[in-house]
């Protein structure tokens, strides 16, 4: 059996398994896996932030770390604002690049050198 025929047969078998109830079960398993992945990323981010804060406290010899409530408030407000700031910076840079490209295409003729004879 040629390789193409084996590939078609394999895809057909997989499609039959995933059709109907199998597809619903697969989607449920994938959504659970996505939830686990998101939870892992969140926990990792919180642990990273806590480690950075602990090391900064050690560098500056802070006698007593922040309370748990204050840390939760700072992390809860700081992380979304940091994401918003990064998004705003990316949006602004994209906007600036688009405007500069528009200006370049609207310019009359090619850019000429300021030196004579070139």
pLDDT tens-digit series, residues 88-107:
999 999 999 999 888 877 76
The answer to whether position 40 is within a domain reads yes
Burial of 19 (0-12, 13-18, 19+ CB in 10 A): exposed
Q: Is the pTM value of this prediction over 0.85? A: no
Is residue 105 in a domain?
Answer: yes
34 within a domain of the structure (yes/no): yes
Domain limits at 73?
Answer: 67-110
Looking at the fold, whether 61 and 71 belong to one and the same domain comes out as no
Q: Report angle CA 48, 53, 87 to the nearest 5 degrees.
A: 60
* Count of structural domains within the chain: 2
Identify whether 118 is part of a domain.
no
User: Is 61 inside any structural domain?
Assistant: yes
Of the segments 71-75, 78-82, 84-88, which one has the largest average pLDDT value? Answer: 84-88
């Amino acid at each position: 059996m040629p390789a193409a025929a084996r590939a078609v047969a394999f895809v057909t078998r997989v499609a039959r398994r995933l059709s109907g109830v199998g597809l619903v079960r697969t989607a449920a398993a994938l959504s659970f896996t996505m939830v686990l992945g998101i939870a892992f990323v969140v926990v990792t981010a919180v642990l990273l932030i806590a480690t950075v804060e602990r090391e900064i406290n050690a560098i500056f010899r802070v006698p007593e770390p922040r309370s748990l409530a204050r840390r939760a408030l700072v992390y809860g407000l700081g992380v979304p604002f940091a994401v918003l700031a990064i998004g705003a910076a990316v949006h602004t840079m994209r906007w600036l690049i688009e405007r500069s490209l528009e200006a370049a295409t609207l310019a009359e003729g090619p850019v000429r050198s300021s030196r004579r004879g070139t």
